Amino acid sequence: MKTFLLSLAVTGVLAGCWDDGRARVWDRDRTVLGPIPLKTQIAYVDSALDRVTFVDLLNDAPVISRTSVGRNAIYAQPSPDRHHLFVITRGEEAVHTGEIDQAPMLWSIDAQHIDAAAQGYTIGSPFDRIALAPDNSIAIAYFSAAGPDAAGFFRNPNELAIVDLTQPPSATNPTLRTIRSFGSVPEGIELSPPMIVPGLPDARTFAFILSDNNLTVLDTAHPDRNEISVRLDLGGLPVIPREVVFAPNTASAYVRSDNARDVLQVILVPDSQATPTENDFRPQLAELGAGGGPTDIAVYDDPNGKRFVLAATPNTNEVVVIDADTAQFRSVPIADPIDRILLFPQGGDEPPHKALFAAIAANQKRVSVLNLDNIADPLTEEQLTTIDLDQPVRDVVPVPERDLAMIVHDDARTVLGLLDMTTESTSPLLGVGKLDSYDFSPDGSHLIGATDSVSRVGFVALDNLHPTDFRLDDPPVRVLSTANAKIFVDHGDDRGHATIIPSADSTRDQAIVLDGFLLTDVLDQEP
């Protein structure tokens, strides 16, 4: 017995001492960013395996593919058209065996050509936010207010990395800039679509950098030139820019700010350039006469191409329709403190005909609809309709491609309503639980919803409000709809576990469960 115990002890000691030198990659912190919906793919970014996994739902059988990115991904964002994915990796210092020296990088991945290697741009600092131009030509990486993490010694919150995505990385691409600050830091960056400033030969993308009491305009085509700072405060409460909408045809932008008196119109006009570092444009500012502290704005072009700005000004109990060219405006009295404006129809080439107003912060039990046809004509009486509801409005969401709006009545999202903007009628929808995740089919035919405590996906056919549901094998965490109308249900498993439902009327045997796709072939991977 003593001998046997001795043998056990010897073996135990050997087991404890026998170190075969495990690579540190297997002990790294792992964060999975995603699921991130792209056009027909769903992407997951793995910060430990330094790779992006794509689940392509284009064909009947899902295809899983991977592409490598740099060390320690911290942020990912799809392009507005969902054809590209942009990932920021923090990089690494080679302190231990198996680690490498790698600077923070921005990775551009063309989801339509997964076989091509991701394009990496060295951005110098571990930024954790990305602003993207609508045409995917420019990206600006910047810091969020909180910053990425506690690592590092110094952090310059006003630093930007301006990346020309149409050009390969070089000594001048990206351009690192620190914008002028008056004590505030960027809260957000909006990039304009290409805008032609009258008198200048080429269309350019302008960055509008939002920070407390400041608006900074930067010409991304010439990032080495001086930025232009616009002070927004008037000595009273801090003015916090919240929203920018662009009018590229007139090289202008409309800025809505908290605690501002009016909507600020920024018109870019040509200017003489004395030195190479000066700009060949300058902003011309105008306050559009909302006159009451706008809480939300929307911009639209009427059938004649004339641009209008709709602004809600609760302080004056009005909604203001402003001619963007002349700054003439028409006030429409409305009792509720409106803070949400939606235009219908949305997107497409057809100009909007109706505007939906909701007072969400005030929990009002009604919404209003304004007919926009001929609204600018002072001889035409405004047609404002108030729709009374049974429950207060907590959120309003437009249904894509449809003249419908989903109204959320409670914080738990269990009581919903569907507002038909054509008939201006509402229909209630009751859920069995909290609507933790929802999406609309791309053609707006179905509302797709899930709650994490019920192993089902619910569908509502928005044509006739007929509800159906689909029994899952596992509880859902997030539900997404791809551009080809397939439904992707993520189950929140670190290994990757998802159910793919081909369409809203599919049966269970037509669906497929994908399991373990985030760790595919990880045992065969070289550390």
Partner 1 sequence: MRALALLLLAAPVTAAAAPYELSVGSSVRALPGADPVTADSLAGGGVGLGYRLDVDLPRHFELWGEASSLWSGASGAMFQTLTTHVFDVTLTAGAHLRYHPFRSLAVSGALAIGYQHASLTLDDTNGNSASDTAWGPVARASIQLDVLAIDMKAFALGLRGEFGYLAAAGIAMTPTEARSDSSDTLHIPMQEASLGHLDLGGPFFTFGLVSQF
The two tokens of residue 172 are 């001048």
Exposure letters 195-232 (e unless 16+ CB within 10 A, then b): bebeebeebbbbbbbbbbbbbbbbbbbbbebebbbbeb
130 in Cβ contact with 88 (< 8 Å): yes
Site map for partner 1, 433-472, x if CB under 8 A?
---------------------------------------x
CB atoms within 10 A of CB 469: 14
Q: Which of 368, 449, 497, 504 binds partner 1 (CB under 8 A)?
A: 497
- What does the alpha-carbon distance between residue 457 and residue 433 come to, in Å, rounded to a whole number? 11
Under the binding rule (CB under 8 A), the answer on residue 48 touching partner 1 is: yes
Tell which one of 14, 171, 379, 430 touches partner 1 (CB under 8 A). Answer: 14
Mark the segment that binds partner 1 (CB under 8 A) among 8-16, 283-291, 308-316, 438-446.
8-16
Residue 467, classed as helix, strand or coil, is strand
Residue 519 within binding range of partner 1, rule CB under 8 A: yes
Give the residue among 103, 177, 182, 185 at the shortest CA–CA distance from 138.
177
Task: Output the six-digit token pair for 395.
Answer: 């959120």
Q: Where are the beta strands (DSSP E) in 381-455?
A: 384-388, 395-398, 404-408, 415-420, 425-430, 437-440, 446-450
Task: Write down the least CB distance from residue 70 to partner 1, Å.
Answer: 17
Which segment (181-189, 261-269, 380-388, 491-499) binds partner 1 by CB under 8 A? 491-499
Query: CB of 335 within 8 A of CB of 263?
Result: no
The answer to whether residue 172 forms part of the interface with partner 1 (CB under 8 A) is no
The HSE-up count of residue 64 (CA atoms within 13 Å, CB side) is: 16
Q: Name residues contacting partner 1, limited to 244-303 (CB under 8 A).
A: none
Least separation in angstroms between CB 316 and partner 1: 51
- Interacting stretch for partner 1, rule CB under 8 A, among 22-30, 78-86, 217-225, 459-467? 22-30
Residue span binding partner 1 (CB under 8 A) among the ranges 19-27, 171-179, 188-196, 369-377: 19-27
Piece of 109-117, 247-255, 328-336, 489-497 that binds partner 1 (CB under 8 A): 489-497
Find the shortest distance in angstroms from Cβ 265 to partner 1: 50
Residue 521 touches partner 1, criterion: CB under 8 A:
yes
Q: Are strands 186-191 and 446-450 parallel, antiparallel or unpaired?
A: unpaired
* Binding flag, residue 526, partner 1 (CB under 8 A): no
Query: Smallest distance, Å, CB 521 to partner 1?
Result: 5
The region, left, alpha or beta by phi > 0 then psi within -120 to 50, assigned to residue 374 is left
**Candidate residues 11, 363, 374, 425; the one interacting with partner 1 per rule CB under 8 A:** 11
Q: Give the residue with the Cβ less far from partner 1, 30 or 113.
A: 30
Residue 4 sits in the site that holds partner 1 (CB under 8 A): yes
SS3 73: strand
CA geometry: angle at 354 spanning 352 and 356, to 5°?
Answer: 120
Q: How far is the CB of 14 from partner 1 (least distance, A)?
A: 5
Does the footprint of partner 1 cover residue 33 (CB under 8 A)? no
Report strand pairing: 404-408 vs 206-211. Answer: unpaired
d(CA 420, CA 406): 9
- Check residue 30 for interaction with partner 1 (CB under 8 A): yes
Spatial contact of 161 and 176, defined as CB atoms under 8 Å apart: yes
Q: For the CB of residue 282, give the shortest distance to partner 1 in the complex, in Å.
A: 52
Q: Are 401 and 444 in contact (CB under 8 A)?
A: yes
Tokens of 234: 């008037």
Nearest of 402, 304, 424, 419 to residue 345 by alpha carbon: 402
The answer to whether 68 contacts partner 1 (rule: CB under 8 A) is no
Min CB(239)–partner 1 separation in Å: 44
- Applying CB under 8 A, among 29, 115, 388, 411 the residue interacting with partner 1 is 29
Q: Are 439 and 480 in contact (CB under 8 A)?
A: yes
Residue from 93, 377, 473, 505 touching partner 1 (CB under 8 A): that is: 473
Site residues (CB under 8 A) for partner 1?
Answer: 3-4, 7-8, 10-12, 14-15, 18, 20-23, 26-30, 48, 62, 64, 472-474, 492-497, 499, 508-509, 511-517, 519-525, 527
